[in-house]
Amino acid sequence: MILFDTHCHLQDPAFDDVEAVISRSVEAGLVGMAVCGYDLPSSHRAVELASQYAAIHATAGIHPHDAEMVTDADLDAIRALALSGNLVGVGELGLDFYRDLSPRDRQIEVLDAQLAIANEAALPVCVHSRGAEDVIGGQLRRYAAASPLTAGGRHPGVMHCFGGTLEQTMAFIDLGFLVSIACSVTYPKNEESRRIARELPLASIVVETDSPYLPPQEHRGKRNEPAHVRAAVLAIAATRGIDPGEVAVRTTANAHRLYGVAAPAPAGANAR
């Protein structure tokens, strides 16, 4: 099975054995992993990992939880990374009105600044949205309309680990966004997530682990890692009643299109 984890945090301190984790992932069939920054140090570390491993791609951004502490200099540094040619996306960015760890006005300012950076660099965005779907819908509508990616027939971004309703999800797909299904789709209570995985067009779905968070049901309570993205693929296939191999091929192709990266060379060429 060929797989692509569109959102993970291998720069997290939980991965003190990152080399072994990446080897296991490649052995499990992962041809790509997007390591997403959430603040400045984690964004720099993502770029560093991408320079070391062919299967790793980096994004850089400021998580809405950290919006309060962010300075103009931090945003300038994210912009410099975005224009450096070393990123495949901007984010993790967004709004979180569920945990509200930063003031909402500041979250919106930091989101807008990063959406502008993404459009300047012509990069897709990795969006975190929790409890803020109506507000972020307006921001993303304006962003997507101005995105050079939209004009070129590409996706302006991906809704990462999206926890909204099917109707909200369809609204983001109408804007050109992809929707990323996480391993939490395997949790017994997550019926709405399985409904989304069943109803969305396959052309709009990618998969992710959000490692080290959100392990699949069979590994709950433990650290998640990119190799487990297979559990999300199996759950999507089961709920749709189709072959897991087809889900793997389609979601991997979608991820390559999203991030503008080519399918990699065959096995053996993973380390560089």
- Binding footprint of Zn ion on the chain (CB under 5 A): 92, 210
Which residue has the CB atom at the shortest distance from Zn ion? Answer: 210
Distances (CA, A) of 12 to 51, 118, 218: 17, 24, 22
> Which CB atom, from 1 or from 219, has the smaller least distance to Zn ion?
219
58 forms beta bridges with 35
> Which CB atom, from 92 or from 96, has the smaller least distance to Zn ion?
92
> Which CB atom, from 10 or from 144, has the smaller least distance to Zn ion?
10
Helix (H) or strand (E) holding 128: strand 125-130
Q: How far is the CB of 126 from Zn ion (least distance, A)?
A: 8
Compute the distance between CA of residue 244 and CA of residue 18 in angstroms, rounded to an integer. Answer: 27
Cis peptide leading into residue 216 (ω within 30°): no
Q: How far is the CB of 145 from Zn ion (least distance, A)?
A: 26
Q: How far is the CB of 158 from Zn ion (least distance, A)?
A: 11
| Residue written as token pair 């409890």 | 131
Q: How far is the CB of 53 from Zn ion (least distance, A)?
A: 19
> Which CB atom, from 128 or from 240, has the smaller least distance to Zn ion?
128
Cβ neighbours of 142 (radius 10 Å):
11
Distances (CA, A) of 102 to 93, 118, 138: 13, 22, 20
Q: How far is the CB of 94 from Zn ion (least distance, A)?
A: 10
